[in-house]
């Protein structure tokens, strides 16, 4: 029976980034159910970095990740992962409130027309957030997996956890092929399956709910789109960003409750996305080139969960990364690693309060 100090369930960005922080310090294995790591949410994101997204506590994780994402250490990556783009939060009426830590300015209609040629008249103004960037999400995930392996971590794909039992201070973990592994610490980084994995380990679920989000790649009869800002509706009804010179990635900003699954775009959501897009700009739509969907999984308070379960010895949660799991990964992984290894937090995350992300907060909510 193979024995490890730590087994991480899930090889998406959450498992890979936490694994990379602790490999070298512990004997560690990532078990991933699919043929390849990153097949689910991590491989389906809109790939942007937006400091105002997710509220003030998520903004702290995002801001703490910024320096690493823009200038990673050379042994991690020779290139940064961010490409600056800026974001226009469009509004017909009230201006959106961004967290105070986020740099922004108001853009009135005349400037809006220059920044977003073809914007329809009902969009009167916007808040511009200059710090918004594209993230090379695939590059970041690969770099974490590379670092994990280089530091001695092992990865097993097509290795689905189906059950785990706590015996004599260790987890005995059964995979779908009936092989059995042991580890003192089991990390639940299973994305949309976080609650299912907990239940399979006899641990009470936290209510982490997957919500489906649709993405559409639209070909347009208009060029010069690639470097325009990300554009989102301050009312939360759409966002789009230039993908190539004459195509955009578009989302209707949908959040459809679903069971954990291999999510796919539904026709009605694609149609809604296109309809909303046509109400924002007058750019002629030529065709839908492709569409896809992924699951964004949230705890009840929409904050991620990092930490040991107080009622399940050796069970560590790394879940609920919602729509911000890529942009927060560097700081979140350092925070989770410090908690898991009982080490002092490094300076990059010294300003973060681990209690905000702890499992205990749910116990307090239900008291």
Ligand X SMILES: Cc1cc2nc3c(=O)[nH]c(=O)nc-3n(C[C@H](O)[C@H](O)[C@H](O)COP(=O)(O)OP(=O)(O)OC[C@H]3O[C@@H](n4cnc5c(N)ncnc54)[C@H](O)[C@@H]3O)c2cc1C
Return residues touching ligand X (CB under 6 A): 9-15, 31-34, 39-42, 44-48, 160-161, 189-193, 197, 213, 215, 294-296, 321-327
Kindly state the smallest distance separating residue 367's Cβ from ligand X, in Å. 28
Comparison of 15 and 233: residue with beta carbon closer to ligand X: 15
Q: Quick count: other Cβ atoms within 10 Å of Cβ 84?
A: 13
Phi, psi of 80 (to 5 degrees): -75, 170
235: nearest Cα among 90, 52, 86: 90
Nearer to ligand X, 196 or 244 (CB): 196
The least distance separating ligand X from the CB of residue 111, rounded to whole angstroms, comes to 25
Residues 6+ apart with CB under 8 A from 355: 361
**Shortest CA distance to 348 belongs to which of 328, 334, 360, 362?**
334
The residue (of 35 and 94) whose beta carbon lies closer to ligand X is 35
Is the CB of 102 or the CB of 161 nearer to ligand X? 161
The length of the chain in residues reads 367
Q: Cβ of residue 109: shortest distance to ligand X, in angstroms?
A: 28
Query: Who contacts 142 (Cβ-Cβ below 8 Å, separation ≥6)?
Result: none
Residue 126 · residue 112 · CB < 8 Å: yes
Nearer residue to ligand X within complex by CB, 89 or 296: 296
* Min CB(44)–ligand X separation in Å: 5
Q: Of 125 and 294, which CB lies nearer to ligand X in the complex structure?
A: 294
- Cβ proximity to ligand X, 280 vs 326, nearer residue: 326
Distance CA 359, CA 208 (A): 12
Sequence-distant (6+) residues with CB within 8 A of 53 are 59, 62, 323, 324, 327
Q: How far apart are CA 231 and CA 91, in angstroms?
A: 11
Smallest gap from residue 135 Cβ to ligand X (A) = 6
Q: Smallest distance, Å, CB 343 to ligand X?
A: 22
What are the DSSP calls for 54-96, one per residue? T-HHHHHHHHHHHHHHHS--TTT-SS-SEEE--EEEEESSSPP
Q: What is the DSSP letter of 317?
A: E
Which residue has tokens 């026709």? Answer: 267
Of the pair 315, 324, the CB lying nearest ligand X is at 324
Minimum CB distance to ligand X, residue 228 (Å): 16
CB of 15 to ligand X, least distance (A): 6
């Amino acid at each position: 029976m193979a024995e490890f100090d730590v087994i991480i369930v899930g090889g998406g960005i959450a498992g890979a980034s936490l694994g990379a922080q602790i490999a070298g310090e512990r004997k560690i294995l990532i078990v991933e159910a699919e043929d390849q790591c990153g097949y689910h949410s991590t491989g389906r994101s809109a790939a942007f970095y937006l400091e105002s997204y997710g509220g003030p506590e998520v903004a702290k994780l995002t801001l703490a990740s910024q320096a690493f994402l823009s200038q990673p250490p050379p042994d991690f990556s020779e290139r940064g992962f961010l490409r600056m783009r800026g974001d226009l939060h469009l509004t017909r009426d009230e201006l959106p409130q961004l967290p105070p830590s986020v740099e922004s300015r108001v853009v009135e209609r005349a400037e809006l027309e220059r920044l977003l040629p073809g914007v329809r008249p009902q969009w009167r103004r916007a808040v511009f957030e200059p710090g918004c960037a594209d993230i090379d999400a695939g590059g970041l995930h690969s770099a974490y997996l590379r670092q994990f392996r280089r530091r001695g971590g092992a990865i097993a794909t097509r290795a689905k956890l189906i059950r785990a039992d706590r015996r004599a201070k260790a987890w005995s973990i059964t995979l779908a092929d009936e092989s059995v592994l042991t580890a003192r610490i089991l990390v639940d980084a299973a994305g949309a399956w976080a609650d299912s994995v907990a239940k399979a380990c006899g641990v009470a679920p936290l209510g982490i709910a997957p919500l489906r989000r649709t993405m559409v790649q639209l070909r347009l009869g208009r060029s010069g789109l690639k470097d325009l800002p990300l554009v989102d509706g301050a009312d939360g009804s759409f966002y789009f960003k230039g993908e190539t010179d004459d195509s955009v990635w578009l989302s209707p900003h949908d959040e459809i409750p679903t069971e954990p699954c291999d999510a796919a775009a539904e026709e009605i959501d694609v149609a809604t996305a296109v309809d909303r897009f046509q109400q924002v700009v007058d750019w002629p739509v030529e065709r839908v080139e492709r569409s896809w969907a992924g699951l964004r999984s949230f705890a009840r308070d929409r904050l991620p969960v990092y930490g040991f379960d107080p009622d399940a010895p050796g069970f560590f949660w790394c879940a609920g990364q919602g729509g911000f799991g890529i942009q927060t990964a560097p700081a979140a992984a350092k925070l989770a690693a410090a908690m898991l290894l009982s080490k002092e937090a490094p300076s990059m995350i010294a300003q973060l309060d681990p209690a905000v992300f702890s499992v205990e907060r749910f116990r307090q909510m239900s008291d």
